[in-house]
Amino acid sequence: MDRGTVREPLVAVTSRSFSGDGVLRDELLAAFPNCRFNEDGGRLDAEALVGFLSGAAGAIVGVERIEFHQERFAIGLLAADQRRTAAAEQIEQC
């Protein structure tokens, strides 16, 4: 990649209904050309969700439970600057 090239932010879409709707996909892709959709149509567990959201600047989440009370999952979902803050704080169970 050329150093002058600006990479579009990644938007991850876990929602099965959103991922399967051609109109919604087209509208999102028009605004954010770099999208990752839930093509498998399955519900993501905590570990799969962390992997799916990895590198994303934003997300459209469906029914997936985001388990911030489990630090090992939450850290993977936080931006680098948020990780430093989260590491200094105790993440309490819900």
Once rounded to an integer, what is the mean pLDDT over residues 15-23? 93
| Residue 63 pLDDT level (bands cut at 50, 70, 90) | confident
Q: Give ∠ CA 38-44-49 in degrees, rounded to 5.
A: 90
* Lowest model confidence (mean pLDDT) among 7-16, 21-30, 69-78: 69-78
Asked if pLDDT for residue 33 goes beyond 60, the answer is: yes
What is residue 81's predicted lDDT score, i.e. its pLDDT?
Answer: 45
What is residue 25's predicted lDDT score, i.e. its pLDDT?
Answer: 95
Q: Cα(54)–Cα(60) distance, rounded to whole angstroms?
A: 13
Which tokens is 92 given?
């309490």
Phi then psi for 36, rounded to 5 degrees? Answer: -120, 120
pTM over 0.75: no
Asked if pLDDT for residue 73 goes beyond 70, the answer is: no
Strands 11-13 and 35-37: parallel
Report the candidate in 76, 27, 74 with the shortest Cα–Cα distance to residue 55. Answer: 76
Once rounded to an integer, what is the mean pLDDT over residues 25-30? 95
Identify the bridge partners of residue 60 per DSSP, sorted by sequence position: 13
| Residue 64 pLDDT level (bands cut at 50, 70, 90) | confident
Contact 91, 69 (CB under 8 A): yes
